[in-house]
Amino acid sequence: MSKIVNLVLFLIIGINIASAQKTDVERMKLKGKPKIVKQVDTDGMYCEYHFDKKGIITKITYTKEGVTDSKTFEYEYDKKGNPVKEYAYYQNELRYYFVNVFDEKGNKINMEEYTSDGKLLSITDY
């Protein structure tokens, strides 16, 4: 598995878990205030990262050269910067989404997984 795919999987599973003082831009060691960053690895895997004004990832899209399918992940945050919703798209079609619930201290309490039509699939307590 390529390094970029591993990074994308880490971001999908653990977005904003690193220190609260660092933005995604800082963790990725990027300069300035990028809106979009595109990367390609030697396997032809393309990753596109979209950032908000605070430097937090709001969208990740990856696809492989010569392949028509793509995967996109979009994130919504609360005022404290907690990722409260995560959407997963395949070929631009919503497949499932997660709703994360946090306590007043910012600790993740649980994660609810839903199908694209809103059917609850699972609840994971933390």
**Mean pLDDT comparison of 11-20, 44-53, 106-115, highest-scoring range:** 106-115
Residue 37's domain comprises 3-125
**Mean pLDDT comparison of 21-30, 59-68, 82-91, highest-scoring range:** 82-91
Beta carbons within 8 Å of 31's beta carbon, 6+ residues apart = none
**Mean pLDDT comparison of 7-16, 39-48, 111-120, highest-scoring range:** 111-120
Q: Find the CATH number of the domain harbouring 33.
A: 2.40.128.720
Instruction: Find the helix or strand (DSSP H, E) in which 120 lies.
Output: strand 120-125
Q: How many domains does the chain have?
A: 1
Q: Which residue has the tokens 């994360």?
A: 100
pLDDT at 74 exceeding the cut of 80: yes
